[in-house]
Amino acid sequence: MSTEVIDFSKMEKGDSLWDKAWYKFKRDSMGKTGAIIVLVYFIIALGVWFGLWGTAWSDTSDLLQADPSWQHLIGTNQIGQDVFTRVIYSTKVAFEVGLVVAVFSTILGAILGSVSGYFSGTWIDSIILWFMGVLDSIPFYLFVAAVAFALKENPFAMHIAMISTFWTGTARVIRGEVIKLKGQEFVEAARSIGVRENKIIFKHIMPNTSHILLVQGTIAFVAAIKSEVILSFLGMGVKDGVSWGLMISESTQDIQAGHFNNFIASSVFLFVLVIAFNMFSDSMQDALDPKKVS
């Protein structure tokens, strides 16, 4: 995380939290580097989505376990599939899983966390806290296995399981923030003029937690990608298609035969994306911290 001291005196006095955060983020070289790398990965994923590349990931050839060449940049696997094409296609799968889980778990956590925080100390808060405690007490991979079994090989079983568990972290953070915000003057003013409680929560309080939700979303994105790799490696993840986790799982037999292309390609692509997104997330968390940009 950057320790650079930013001179906010050069900014206008009325600048918002977002303006100050952007001012600081622009001067964080680590954060910008991470953002650029993530953008490159996103462009790769977009290319796969639009069918520009990576579409032949399942095609086989007569070249089995071939070494890297101009025809196959990272070689082929044990059935002649191009490793480079498969690792490119897996980038799209990683972004699909990361975005779906991050968006839905953040939204669910924001809603339940806001309701819990606004009604803190009441039976509503107690029920939500109890529910979060129950979910947090279940081992994650055991819960995923149970969901996968219950949904009978549903391709979205992994997504549902991750969303069902990841939202609790966001909810706890938002709950604490809402408990502080509900005592602010703008909330008291809304109550005094008869604004309904649901409008106070979702129209007046939740928008003031957007900076926290953005950071929580990036954390969930990275966690979802890493979880997908582990689950796919264990056979509980991606069912139709290929992912970095499946490629690592396939490589266990390749390594025994002295072929490391599958393992190295998938591991490096995963490692670089996770590190870059962590750099980007840390930079955003630092930039959006009100204590550091006020």
The enclosing domain of 45 has a CATH number of: 1.10.3720.10
Structure tokens belonging to residue 53: 């590349």
- Report the pLDDT averaged over residues 204-219: 89
pLDDT of residue 237: 79
Residue 49 falls within a domain, yes or no? yes
Question: Is the pLDDT score of 80 beyond 90?
Answer: no
Q: How confident is the model at residue 291 (pLDDT cuts 50, 70, 90)?
A: low
Q: What is the pLDDT of residues 261-289, one digit of tens each?
A: 888 999 999 999 999 988 888 887 777 76
pLDDT of residue 18: 66
Question: Is the pLDDT score of 31 beyond 80?
Answer: yes
Residue 252 falls within a domain, yes or no? yes
Tell me how many domains the chain contains: 1
Residue 289 falls within a domain, yes or no? yes
Q: How confident is the model at residue 293 (pLDDT cuts 50, 70, 90)?
A: very low
Residue 72 falls within a domain, yes or no? no
Residue 22 falls within a domain, yes or no? yes
Find the domain containing 232 and state its range.
15-56+82-293
Q: Which residue has the higher pLDDT, 236 or 167?
A: 167
Residue 205 falls within a domain, yes or no? yes
Residue 75 falls within a domain, yes or no? no
Residue 168 falls within a domain, yes or no? yes
Question: Is the pLDDT score of 20 beyond 90?
Answer: no
